Structure 1
Amino acid sequence: MVMDALGMSEALRDGKIDRLELIKESYQKIDQLNGKLNAVIQRRDERALREAEKFVDKGQPFAGIPLLLKGLGQNLAGEPDTNGARLLKNNYAQETDNFVNRLQKAGFIVIGQTNVPEFGFKNITDPTLYGAAHNPWNLQYSPGGSSGGSASAVAAGIVPIAAGNDGGGSIRIPASFSGLIGLKPTRGRVPVGPTSWRGWQGAAINFALTKSIRDTAALLDALQIVQPAAPFQTPLFKPGFLARIEQPFKRKLRVAYSIESPVGSTVSQEAKAAVLEVVTFLNSLGIQTNEIENPLNGPELMQSYYIVNAGETASMFQKIEQKIGRKVTSADMELTTWAIYQAGLLLSAKDYSKTLSLWDEASAVMDRLYESYDAYLTPTTAYIAPKINAELITVKSLKKMRHVTELNKDERLNLISEFFERSLKLTPFTQQANMTGQPAISLPTFVSKKGLPLGVQFIGRKGDEATLMQLGRLFERNHMFKMLDE
């Protein structure tokens, strides 16, 4: 069995492997695989090897383990900070953010950055700046997005853990498409700042893609924090997630499940089968399951999600314009980005305030669900990964996007829904947890007839990642994870 990150750390301490050689091995794998995968967009060989030589083992949980950062929203001072965008191709981070600093304190050695779609707007990874990332299960398919490069690198065995972030499923979607474990923690659980504090008004949160539940738990133990300056707070979980995963459940579990899309789109029979297999397994262990209807207004929430995306994008470009000293134009960015930006320019404070109130109301509705259930099970994605060359935006929508400045506010917002329709059909299950702030995890339990993975998603009550990871460990212990053989 291939070692996970904790296993590597233990082997380093036992003298079974060499820390410098471990970093070199990851770079050798990049040399061998990245020409086909295009998962890694930046390397820091000399600095990483120097850090490995000087590394001091102070008992860190991941003592000298190689890690790839996502090339979006995870800043390491002096390293590129492009966000997958042509406009920022020569931009470098001025400081290390609190999330990356915490990773380094946990013992990780950053060896580079992974591929992302421009500004993370897509559920696939195909930026004009770097080109498409490929899925190691089948190179003709996408590893997903926006943490697609990270997923590709972990699935291929380049590193045992790669950092990601999730604003609408961007960890869980590539985890489903690439056969990995993908946790989105509770809003306020992990470090934010010192410049970006809210992350799409709390919808976006940093974490990682992994291959073992104990790595997931230990990483969350290392990252969880209460930051007085942060706008969102979640109490520390003690004695810790790693300590909890091998313990029995506190009571007989009750799991709600749904196999219907929350936005009314179609769901593949294989995605439904993946969930029903899990239901059968849970029932065999005496865990109660009940099929329910999603209690939220999915279409309304998705429209609100696009409002926040557009508003945050307009704010982002205002800051970029101040930095570069000129107005941005459509030539500076991909068409998807331009259309979202133009929609954001016409939004009002009233639109934004109404949207955030809707998210709070949805959060309260979902919290009531957990008075009756311990977890909520759905497919992670409704279909397997799309092919690299899949046409996810229609020709009709592309034409409208080129003329987006001629549209009024409502027409621009409706256009976002229109051009994301095909993409959303693939991945309608992940966004709600971002809006409500709940923890959610994708587990790799199913492989389709085409030989591509599909994940199932468990969504928990705010603050209760422990139950999600206990469920994950239950599947792992029963050898139900389907991961790519390296």
Structure 2
Amino acid sequence: MDDLLRLDALGQAQAVRKGEVSPRELAEAAIARIEAHDGELNAVVHRRFERALAELPGSGGVPPDAPFAGVPTLLKDLGWAMAGEPYRAGSRTLDGMSPERDGYAVTKLRRAGFTILGRTNTSEFGTAITTEPVASGPTRNPYDPGYSSGGSSGGSAAAVAAGMVAVATASDGGGSIRIPASMCGLVGLKPSRGRVSSGPSAGEPWAGFSASGLLCRTVRDAAATLDVIAGTMPGDPYGAPAWERPLADEVGADPGRLRIGFLAEHPGGRFAVDPDPVAAVTAAAGLLAGLGHHVEPGGPAALAEDDFARHFGAVVAAHVAADLEEVGRWRGRPVEFGEVETRNRILAEAGRGLGAVGYVTARGWIDGFRRRMATWWDSHDLLLTPSLGVAPFRLGWLPPDDVSLSRGRTDRAVSFTSPVNATGQPAISLPLHRTAGGMPVGVQLVAAAGREDLLIRVAAQIETAQPFTHPAMR
């Protein structure tokens, strides 16, 4: 059965349709792999195996002709609400809490036939780029258990990289899909703002910075799963522009000769980039040129603006403070600062002190930044950068009680990802490089708002030219 688990989600779905494996057999194989490997990795923090087996296609809940009927998956334990299931968001403040209804994207996953086996580990409230929450302990990287799997979607990334499931859900407010994808050798597509509804519980999480998606092993899975969860529901504040056809149809489509700028170093030199990300981007630029694209150094001048991190951080801090207030209302008693990790206590304090005028001012600055960034895409199709500005890092690299050191390291790490959250553009991380020690390093491609179709075309072209490998699936 391990051979079937090594297939991507589309391959598993095809095997079910052909009768090569039953949904129960596939689910039981995934469960067995979780039980065999998760003791070391700590990726799955809530298991609902018996309920999942009772919900298999043919049991009355899932149509047997659903596109992913019988394919096992896991939900990140942040967002992705599932009625009646424990929900912690990586925090002890939510012990014993369960949502009353499914999130809109979870409803779509279930209608598509996915078998949801449980929930995956995340940093507390998704505010760290490593998954080491006090509430449930660290998630370890399948490539080397001494390393972080990234964050905040590190549990999902570790589960997919280890072969527990072919795809798992994620979310990205500053890089939390692309960073774990880079750290675990996966494909991570952050959709455009408004592409996937956050309803019914939220409108625009973190002022629209955060987007929901999935972590995958193949480009075709990234496309087909986004087709499943994309869409708006009544009451959403906005939606992304519609594609001309399903995203899955873009796999194998000719992208044409694209105009691609690349940055191996951060513009302005404010953040030093480690050698492995530089090598990854340099090699990817050569690969793209060899595929016939016009590739040249350079990127948006706005990326060099020193004020970005301050205003981005102000918006995030305000939302963390508001999120803690909402947790208090949900559970029926206020959250005390002593209940949350030091990083989130400091963020919440800053958010409370910002005030309404300070928050609106920060959002206004981000509005201008988004416009300054967008002008670059008038003359270019794609931007190529590191997914992560630092080399793969070990557990403990972000010390929880040394906030100054952790913040400096985080700012350097997310210097290429968080601006794309602020602009709402789609971006994809592709696993194109390994360190000398064998750890994965990803590169990021960024398109204009709404152009996931273009990202999928060129990502599939790259995957064909340099097929992705997944040695952690031992």
* Smaller-chain TM-score bracket: over 0.9
How much has 1:394 moved relative to structure 2?
A: 7.0
Please say which of residues 89-98 and 33-42 is displaced more in the overlay: 89-98
Tell me if 1:471 matches 2:458.
yes
How much has 1:391 moved relative to structure 2?
A: 4.5
Name which of 256, 259, 270 aligns with 1:254.
Answer: 259
Whether the 8 Å contact between 2:300 and 2:373 is mirrored in structure 1 is: no
Distance 2:33 2:351 in 1: 42
| Aligned residue number for residue 400 of structure 1 | none
Distance 1:393 1:87 in 2: 18
How much has 1:273 moved relative to structure 2?
A: 0.9
Residues 453-476 of structure 1: CA deviation (Å, up to 9, x unaligned): 100000000000011111110111
- Return the letter of the residue paired with 2:89: N
Distance 2:33 2:385 in 1: 35
| Aligned residue number for residue 483 of structure 1 | 470
Distance 2:376 2:469 in 1: 30
Residues 360-385 of structure 1: CA deviation (Å, up to 9, x unaligned): 22222222111111100000012232
- Return the letter of the residue paired with 1:97: G
Name which of 239, 243, 246 aligns with 1:237.
Answer: 243
Gap change, CA 1:328 and 1:223, over 3 Å in 2: closer
Whether the 8 Å contact between 1:83 and 1:120 is mirrored in structure 2 is: yes
Whether the 8 Å contact between 2:260 and 2:382 is mirrored in structure 1 is: yes
Aligned length: 465
How much has 1:59 moved relative to structure 2?
A: 3.0
Q: Secondary structure at the match of 1:139?
A: strand
Mapping 1:377-392, distance limit 5 Å: 377-392=384-399
Using the size of structure 1 for normalisation, the TM-score is 0.92
| Aligned residue number for residue 302 of structure 1 | 309
| Aligned residue number for residue 79 of structure 2 | 73
Name which of 40, 43, 47 aligns with 1:36.
Answer: 40
Residues 288-323 of structure 1: CA deviation (Å, up to 9, x unaligned): 011114421443111111111111111112222333
Mapping 1:12-411, distance limit 5 Å: 12-52=16-56, 54=59, 56-249=62-255, 251-261=256-266, 264-296=270-302, 297-392=304-399, 395=402, 397=403
Q: Which runs of 5+ in 1 are unaligned?
A: 398-414
Whether the 8 Å contact between 1:475 and 1:481 is mirrored in structure 2 is: no
Distance 1:47 1:362 in 2: 47
Q: Secondary structure at the match of 1:299?
A: coil
| Aligned residue number for residue 433 of structure 1 | 420
Using the size of structure 2 for normalisation, the TM-score is 0.95
Whether the 8 Å contact between 2:343 and 2:400 is mirrored in structure 1 is: no
Cα RMSD (Å): 1.7
How much has 1:44 moved relative to structure 2?
A: 0.5
| Aligned residue number for residue 407 of structure 1 | none
How much has 1:220 moved relative to structure 2?
A: 1.4
Q: Secondary structure at the match of 1:207?
A: strand
How much has 1:424 moved relative to structure 2?
A: 2.4
Q: Secondary structure at the match of 2:148?
A: coil
- Return the letter of the residue paired with 2:456: M
| Aligned residue number for residue 408 of structure 1 | none
Whether the 8 Å contact between 1:444 and 1:483 is mirrored in structure 2 is: no
Whether the 8 Å contact between 2:203 and 2:236 is mirrored in structure 1 is: yes
Distance 1:87 1:365 in 2: 39
Whether the 8 Å contact between 2:97 and 2:331 is mirrored in structure 1 is: no
Residues 391-444 of structure 1: CA deviation (Å, up to 9, x unaligned): 54674x4xxxxxxxxxxxxxxxxx6xx641122223321101100000000000
- Return the letter of the residue paired with 2:206: W
| Aligned residue number for residue 411 of structure 1 | none
Distance 2:234 2:369 in 1: 26
How much has 1:351 moved relative to structure 2?
A: 1.4
Distance 2:229 2:145 in 1: 33
- Return the letter of the residue paired with 2:367: D
Q: Secondary structure at the match of 2:81?
A: coil
Distance 1:289 1:131 in 2: 43
Distance 2:62 2:299 in 1: 52
Distance 1:324 1:253 in 2: 51
Distance 2:472 2:359 in 1: 46
Whether the 8 Å contact between 1:61 and 1:107 is mirrored in structure 2 is: yes
- Return the letter of the residue paired with 1:433: V
Q: Secondary structure at the match of 1:79?
A: coil
- Return the letter of the residue paired with 2:394: K
Distance 1:234 1:115 in 2: 29
Distance 1:61 1:369 in 2: 38
Q: Secondary structure at the match of 1:110?
A: strand
- Return the letter of the residue paired with 2:422: M
Whether the 8 Å contact between 2:41 and 2:140 is mirrored in structure 1 is: yes
Gap change, CA 1:22 and 1:342, over 3 Å in 2: same
